[in-house]
């Protein structure tokens, strides 16, 4: 059969390579010739990823065409087969590499004698049968096998690892010894810009800033290998600033596996000139070149864009980012004030809008009554979206905020838009994990967290919330494994230990719970850490310690989450006080109410007559949940 024309069957679609015809059932599907050629080439070479260069060479005969032309032809080919760029059930886009046809394909050779056996007489039927009936069985088996293999590929394409990309971590750049400490925020921002620029290059895999900045106090290569065993390259640097605002950035790229410096260079400019942005773009380009990774035209345009041309605005933004990273009740309002200054100086400074939204969201999640902060988060993100309506970053932040505000349908829309625009944002996957946890979808929680952890493995916010998302849906063993790893990665982060203490008493391990909650309160000392310690004591039978801790938390003068206080009262059996506090949590729009339906700590309240009312107010009653997308 080698070399005979073929038909391909993909679900209900038939592709006839002899008649250049695609049909859906009995109806012909209109198709442009070049789209047909592209589709057939992808199907014939479906065993591998096809680069853009190969497709240009083989389908367009080497003629010069744009990436946009190829993308449009792929889009049309998907549409013909009832697919889309969001679903990608037929043609998978592999960023930085190309395309692969992944749907199950049945191959039907034309001219195969087994397709129409010649008539035989009764006298010769027995002896003649082996000459054609056995090939029919074999051919049918082969078709079935091809279809089965294709289906398995189609059904599990999302689980297959993408081709390995160079994996890079940018560790926080140092400030030279003769520069004042006041330049520390600037050096941090140079690091952050390097990370962001490198992440614009689809042929690289780059550790996001939340994970990268965990190496601020320990950049030893052994420590990096322990924390990120899959990372191959480390980009490190030193920022030097002279009295005349002269700037030098010395950078080097090291291959961790070989212990060799791959590339190093000095870049010189000025802190009071926008050429500093060009320097940062040049660093990204040099790293890409040294790793032999091509930068696509659209990516180069993104690298050449300046965040702002107003250096006073940039100075305020840099100072605000530094305050945001301190992540305290005092530093976050200071950060917002500085971002407001940056926006006033440059009303089109997109990064300042996003950073201000992040500061509001952190206040909303940890430090202030959420009812006071929610609209400020949404308004700031709306302003950012007016500048860039398709920003995945803005949609992702909005989606996570909506989950924590139990605006379930809005959350699904925002998170889905974020993921379509950029599937590499760990924050989006964390949002989905919390969404599914609120609805009680344990397997989807685990999948979303696995993706988030792969994308941003040392993210502290994710370390904390991931544990909560797991034990809330009854996955105590998975939560234990998750949080043990996160405590090892973040041995000085109190909220991770406090949350681990809650997960421990939910699992019935009261001794471990008290030990972890005590450690969390020792490291953190915030009101919520004291409340979680009170819960651990209550469930461990040390009920006399509960009320003093709750009183101490209440006297701190800052926002105390009524939801967690309700859980503390349940640990000493006071259900009515717990119900009153949950009402207060609804009034204050507590983010923890996203767990109201699934929280195992609330089991004593399931039969309380007021509990269904609370579920209804939070949008987690049975009727509402049945209407949400999964």
List the beta bridge partners of residue 175.
Answer: 239
For 166, 520, 531, 565, 588, the CA distances from 551, given in Å and listed in that order, are 53, 18, 9, 11, 20
> Which residue in 179, 46, 190, 24 sits closest to 104, CA to CA?
46
DSSP letters spanning 481-498:
HHHHHHHHH-TT-HHHHH
Task: Give 254's contacts (C-beta < 8 A, 6+ positions apart).
Answer: 221, 233, 234, 235, 236, 260, 261, 262
pLDDT at 230: 95
Contact 529, 521 (CB under 8 A): yes
> Which residue in 96, 277, 66 sits closest to 201, CA to CA?
96
Q: CA–CA separation, 328 vs 363, rounded Å?
A: 9
For 530, 547, 591, 608, the CA distances from 570, given in Å and listed in that order, are 15, 12, 19, 13
What is the gyration radius of the CA atoms in the chain, in angstroms? Answer: 29
Name the burial class of residue 311, with classes exposed (0-12), middle (13-18) and buried (19+) by CB atoms within 10 angstroms of its CB.
Answer: middle
Q: CA–CA separation, 53 vs 34, rounded Å?
A: 16
Ranges of beta strands (E only) in 30-105 are: 91-94, 98-101
pLDDT at 114: 42
Q: CA–CA separation, 64 vs 410, rounded Å?
A: 43
Q: CA–CA separation, 328 vs 316, rounded Å?
A: 19
For 66, 174, 535, 536, 575, the CA distances from 543, given in Å and listed in that order, are 70, 49, 9, 9, 15
pLDDT at 560: 87
Q: CA–CA separation, 412 vs 432, rounded Å?
A: 8
Distance from the Cα of residue 623 to its chain's centroid: 30
pLDDT at 210: 95
pLDDT at 331: 95
| pTM, rounded to two decimals | 0.74
**Parallel, antiparallel or unpaired: strands 174-175 and 246-255:** unpaired
pLDDT at 521: 96
Give the 3-state secondary structure of residue 283. helix
pLDDT at 177: 63
DSSP code, position 421? H
Contact 313, 329 (CB under 8 A): no
- Phi, psi of 249, rounded to the nearest 5 degrees: -115, 115
Low-confidence spans in the chain with pLDDT less than 70? 1-5, 64-66, 68, 110-163, 177-180
Give the 3-state secondary structure of residue 45. coil
Q: CA–CA separation, 405 vs 399, rounded Å?
A: 10
Q: CA–CA separation, 433 vs 479, rounded Å?
A: 13
Q: CA–CA separation, 439 vs 436, rounded Å?
A: 5
Q: CA–CA separation, 34 vs 65, rounded Å?
A: 12
DSSP code, position 50? B
**Parallel, antiparallel or unpaired: strands 233-241 and 174-175:** parallel
Contact 462, 495 (CB under 8 A): no
The length of the chain is 630
Q: CA–CA separation, 81 vs 46, rounded Å?
A: 16
pLDDT in tens, 70-99: 877 888 899 889 888 778 889 988 877 888
DSSP code, position 117? P
pLDDT in tens, 422-454: 999 999 999 999 999 999 999 999 999 999 999
pLDDT in tens, 547-588: 999 999 999 888 888 999 999 999 999 999 999 999 999 999
């Amino acid at each position: 059969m080698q070399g005979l024309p073929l038909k391909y069957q993909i679900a209900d679609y038939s592709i006839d390579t002899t008649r250049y015809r695609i049909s859906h059932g009995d109806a012909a599907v209109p198709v442009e010739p070049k789209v047909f050629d592209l589709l057939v080439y992808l199907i014939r070479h479906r065993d591998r990823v096809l680069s853009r260069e190969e497709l240009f060479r083989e389908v367009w005969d080497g003629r010069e065409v744009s990436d946009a032309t190829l993308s449009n032809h792929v889009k049309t080919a998907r549409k013909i087969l009832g697919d889309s760029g969001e679903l990608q059930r037929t043609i998978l886009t592999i960023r930085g590499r190309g395309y692969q046809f992944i749907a199950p394909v049945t191959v039907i050779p034309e001219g195969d004698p087994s397709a129409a056996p010649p008539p035989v007489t009764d006298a010769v039927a027995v002896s003649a049968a082996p000459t054609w009936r056995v090939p029919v069985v074999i051919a049918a088996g082969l078709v079935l096998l091809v279809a089965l293999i294709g289906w398995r590929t189609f059904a599990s394409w999302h689980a297959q690892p993408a081709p390995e990309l160079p994996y890079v971590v940018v560790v926080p750049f140092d400030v030279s010894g003769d520069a004042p400490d006041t330049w520390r925020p600037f050096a941090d921002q140079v690091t952050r810009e390097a990370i962001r620029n490198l992440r614009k290059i689809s042929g690289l895999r780059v550790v996001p800033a939340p994970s990268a900045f965990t190496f601020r106090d320990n950049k030893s290569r052994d420590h990096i290998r322990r924390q990120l065993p899959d990372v191959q390259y480390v980009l490190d640097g030193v920022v030097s600033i002279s009295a005349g605002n002269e700037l030098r950035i010395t950078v080097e790229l090291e291959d961790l596996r070989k212990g060799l410096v791959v590339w190093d260079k000095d870049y010189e400019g000025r802190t009071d000139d926008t050429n500093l942005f060009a320097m940062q773009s040049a660093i990204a380009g040099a790293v890409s070149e040294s790793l032999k990774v091509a930068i696509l035209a659209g990516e180069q345009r993104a690298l050449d864009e300046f965040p702002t041309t107003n250096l006073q605005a940039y100075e305020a933004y840099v100072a605000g980012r530094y305050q945001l990273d301190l992540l305290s009740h005092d530093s976050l309002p200071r950060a917002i004030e500085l971002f407001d200054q940056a926006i006033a100086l440059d009303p089109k400074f997109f990064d300042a809008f996003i950073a201000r939204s992040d500061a509001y969201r952190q206040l909303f999640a940890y430090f202030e009554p959420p009812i006071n902060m929610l609209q400020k988060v949404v308004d700031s993100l709306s302003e950012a979206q007016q500048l860039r309506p398709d920003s995945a970053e803005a949609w992702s932040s909005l989606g996570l905020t909506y989950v924590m505000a139990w605006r379930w349908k809005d959350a699904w829309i925002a998170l889905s838009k974020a993921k379509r625009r950029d599937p590499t944002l760990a924050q989006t996957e964390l949002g989905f994990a919390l969404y599914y946890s609120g609805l009680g979808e344990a397997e989807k929680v685990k999948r979303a967290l696995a993706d988030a952890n792969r994308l941003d493995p040392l993210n502290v916010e994710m370390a904390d919330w991931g544990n909560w998302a797991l034990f809330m849906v009854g996955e105590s063993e998975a939560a234990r494994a998750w949080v043990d790893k996160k405590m090892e990665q973040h041995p000085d982060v109190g909220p991770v230990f406090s949350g681990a203490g809650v997960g421990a008493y939910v699992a019935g391990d009261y001794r471990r719970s008290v030990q972890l909650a005590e450690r969390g309160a020792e490291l953190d000392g915030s009101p919520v850490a004291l409340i979680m310690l009170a819960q651990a004591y209550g469930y461990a039978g040390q009920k006399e310690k509960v009320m003093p801790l709750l009183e101490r938390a209440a006297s701190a003068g800052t926002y105390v989450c009524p939801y967690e206080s309700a859980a503390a009262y349940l640990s000493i059996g006071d259900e009515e006080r717990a119900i009153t506090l949950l009402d207060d949590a609804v009034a204050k729009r507590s983010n923890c109410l996203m767990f109201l339906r699934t929280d195992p700590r609330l089991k004593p309240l399931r039969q309380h007559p007021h509990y269904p009312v609370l579920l209804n107010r939070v949008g987690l009653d049975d009727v509402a949940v049945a209407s949400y997308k999964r």
